[in-house]
């Protein structure tokens, strides 16, 4: 859970989030590129979660397994939900939705890391 | 999230009816869900450790949920619900934040409002202000 993949996800999400905030401040609706970028981030997060699930099946269980799984489900669903809501709102506010989603994702990944670390696993 | 309610039955001040309001609802919704899930897990697994903090978490979650719904539907009743819950949030984050800084013994386990919401990027401190600002900006009688 604490490998380069997590770090990459956090960095990409933060950069994208800042990009969306700027775009929203400039009164831009989400462009096709913006939406594709969000799908790309969703894919990256999905890979991260799959790796974590494989770890869980392989016996790498953190202390609070239930909480960990709850966070995994939330994390994997977050970017796609942001994408879907942004599609519904083709204004600057749709771009801000993407930005908010991108800024919450690093928090979720950090929490996953904390829970995974709690047992040293 | 966005219920397909016909636009003509929706009050003018319903947050669901505008893009900025939808973003506000998204953030409120995130807090309702995260505070609620956290409180649920804490109460289910280790309630005896810090009952006060966990009940406070659960209460905060309910208040966020009420604020989300009140802001979303708008109208006189929605405004009242949102105004009440945003005020409780603001008072809650200020009181609990102050208490948690002054007397850490009383709040051994973190709640959403501990240390003015520092564990949540101080968003709990800002959120009720934005909610109240939304209500004020969309107050009745404003053109």
For residue B108, give both structure tokens. Answer: 């051994």
> Does residue B143 belong to any structural domain of this protein?
no
> Does residue B52 belong to any structural domain of this protein?
yes
For testing the chain A interface, which of B5, B16, B23, B31 should be mutated: the one with the most A CBs within 10 Å?
Answer: B23
For testing the chain A interface, which of B26, B29, B33 should be mutated: the one with the most A CBs within 10 Å?
Answer: B26
* pLDDT bucket at A121, cuts 50 / 70 / 90: very low
Shortest CB distance from B27 goes to which of A92, A100, A107?
A100
Which residue on chain A is closest to B19 by alpha carbon? Answer: A93
pLDDT in tens, B34-86: 888 888 888 888 888 778 878 888 999 999 999 999 999 999 999 999 999 99
> Does residue B82 belong to any structural domain of this protein?
yes
> Does residue B112 belong to any structural domain of this protein?
yes
Full-model pTM: 0.85
Burial B47-84 (b: 16+ CB within 10 A, else e): eeebeebbebbbbbbbbbbbbbbbbbbbbeebbebbbe
Which domain does A28 fall in, by range?
4-117
> Does residue B142 belong to any structural domain of this protein?
no
For residue A31, give both structure tokens. Answer: 């462009």
Q: How far is Cα B31 from Cα B86, in angstroms, rounded to an integer?
A: 13
pLDDT in tens, A63-109: 788 888 989 999 999 999 999 999 999 999 999 999 999 999 999 99
Whether residue A120 has pLDDT greater than 50 = no
Residues 23-42 of B with CB under 8 A from A: 23, 26-27, 30, 37, 41
Which domain does B53 fall in, by range?
15-137
């Amino acid at each position: 859970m604490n490998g380069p993949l997590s770090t990459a996800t956090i960095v990409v999400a933060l950069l994208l989030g800042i990009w969306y905030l700027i775009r929203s401040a400039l009164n831009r609706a989400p462009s096709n590129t913006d939406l594709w970028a969000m799908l790309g981030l969703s894919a990256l997060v999905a890979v991260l979660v799959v790796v974590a699930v494989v770890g869980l099946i392989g016996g790498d269980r953190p202390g609070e397994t239930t909480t960990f799984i709850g966070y995994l489900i939330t994390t994997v669903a977050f970017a796609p939900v942001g994408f879907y809501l942004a599609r519904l709102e083709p204004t600057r506010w749709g771009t801000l939705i993407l930005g908010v989603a991108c800024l919450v994702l690093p928090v979720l990944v950090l929490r996953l890391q904390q829970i995974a670390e709690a047992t040293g696993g | 999230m966005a219920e397909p309610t016909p636009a003509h039955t929706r009050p003018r001040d319903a947050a669901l009816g505008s893009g900025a309001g939808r973003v506000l609802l998204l953030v409120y919704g995130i807090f309702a869900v995260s505070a609620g899930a956290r409180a649920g897990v804490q109460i289910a697994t280790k309630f005896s450790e810090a009952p006060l903090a966990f009940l406070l978490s659960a209460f905060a979650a309910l208040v966020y949920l009420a604020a989300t719904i009140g802001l979303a539907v708008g109208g006189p009743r929605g405004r009242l619900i949102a105004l009440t819950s945003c005020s409780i949030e603001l008072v809650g984050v200020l009181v609990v934040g102050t208490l948690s800084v002054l007397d850490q013994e009383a709040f051994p386990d973190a709640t959403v409002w501990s240390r003015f919401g520092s564990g949540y990027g101080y968003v709990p401190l800002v959120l009720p202000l934005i909610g109240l600002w939304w209500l004020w900006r969309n107050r009745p009688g404003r053109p």
